[in-house]
Amino acid sequence: MSRESPWETPSGGGLAGWDTYERLARVATTATPRTRSGSLDRYFEISARGSTVRRELRGGLVTFVTMAYIVVLNPLIIGTVPDADGRLLGIERVAGVTALVASVMTILMGVVGKMPLALATGLGLNAFVAFGVATRMSWADAMGLVVLEGLIITVLVLTGFRTAVFRAVPAQLKTAIAVGIGLFIALIGLVDGGIVRRTSAGVVPVQLGAGGSLRGWPVLVFVIGLLITSVLVARRVRGAILLGIAAATVLAVVVQAAAHPGPAVGPGGKPNPTGWQLTVPSWPGNPVGLPNLSLVGNFSLFGGFARIGVLAALLIVFTLLLADFFDTVGTVVGVSAEAGLLDENGQVPCSSTRSPPLPAAPPAPPRPPPTSRAQPESRTAPAPGLPASSPARCSRWRCSSPRSCRWCRPRRRPRRW
């Protein structure tokens, strides 16, 4: 009486789906290799997001360089506009608190929120506060209204109302807000590069270049820097944006030292159409120094109510709240989509509800011994939910939802007949 092999079916065929299971186990092992991750990697879930420590450091440096302009531009808007009492905050003091707030909030976002997002002062609200709020009250009263708006946002976040509204906004509207913010920042870059100029009619009407023509060394530096960055990005060079910024910076310093274009506004307010719009590039004489943080805590929480009335102050707070809310929605969605942080529904997952990393694939059992019986040709039945011809790995460059992806999710062990 011959004993049947445990790897065979009663009909004489081999284990149904064996080759399919072995192939899936090999694919899963290839897609999620077991690596020795340190405490830093496990805490920030770097490998779980498909990244590395070196890539995160490079991305953080690029993000810092691309966002450093706010440390210069925000003081030029906030620090140079007098309030209703004729007082100026000053560029140096505004630059110090701008850098302090950006650094503290970015560190909290990374350490507490565990999200690779950087936070800094936004463009748009600072101009509204400077020209629409501070001209009717003191700077301390205006900043008090901004602090009050921030406290209301905090309450909405803690109660979950902001998350509910965020998820209720259609994805198309979120994308449109992100596109609008991107176009606004691009317009600022074109104005600072000299491509777009203001006309004598006012601030809003603009024109191409100075008098309808592009001329001047700053315009040439802008075009060369944009061309270098575009070529590097198109060729998928690592750190393309950082290399483009570095090349344009070095070229600007050399051009200023050789040609001396000077600032766009010369001594005595004399205009210089071919000068630098934002700042004159030069090597800093003292690159290291202590910041001026005297503006920290300089606000009056309810001073604006006594200055312009309760109703007008509430309308300003509501305006700041509405603009800040949807500005954040568009920015977060746009940045998260580019970083591959959105889930399958297009939402930004919270750190508390984020999916855990994929489990390691189970080891494949040993290959069954050869038998004398003839094996049927159709012995590789596809696994449930998997087509007959499947690729060797996920076809997406970076899978944003590995647990729901039909190629990346773990498979069940085939049933033994």
Render pLDDT for 78-114 as a digit per residue (tens, 0 to 9).
988 899 999 999 988 999 999 999 999 999 998 988 8
Q: Which residues pair with 263 in a beta bridge?
A: 276
- Beta strand segments in 127-214, E: 196-198, 206-208
C-beta neighbour count of 82 within 10 angstroms: 13
- The Cα-based distances of 180 to 132, 177, 208, 328 in angstroms read 21, 5, 21, 12
pLDDT band (50, 70, 90) for residue 317: very high
Secondary structure (DSSP) of 338-373: HHT---TTS----SSSPPPPPPPPPPPPPPPPP-SS
Q: Mean pLDDT over residues 43-71, rounded?
A: 85
pLDDT band (50, 70, 90) for residue 326: confident
- What is the β-pairing status of strands 196-198 and 206-208? antiparallel
What is the C-alpha separation between 12 and 329, in angstroms, rounded? 61
What is the C-alpha separation between 265 and 273, in angstroms, rounded? 8
Tokens 């997406």 — which residue?
Answer: 396
Please report, in angstroms and rounded to a whole number, the separation of the first and last CA atoms in the chain. Answer: 21
Per residue in 257-297, pLDDT (tens digit) is: 998 888 888 777 788 888 888 788 888 777 778 888 989 98
Per residue in 165-214, pLDDT (tens digit) is: 888 888 888 888 888 888 888 888 888 888 888 777 766 678 888 777 88
Could you tell me which residues come within 8 angstroms of residue 235 by beta carbon, excluding any fewer than 6 positions away? none
The per-residue b/e assignment along 83-98, b for 16 or more CB within 10 angstroms, e otherwise, is: bbeeeebbbebbbbbb
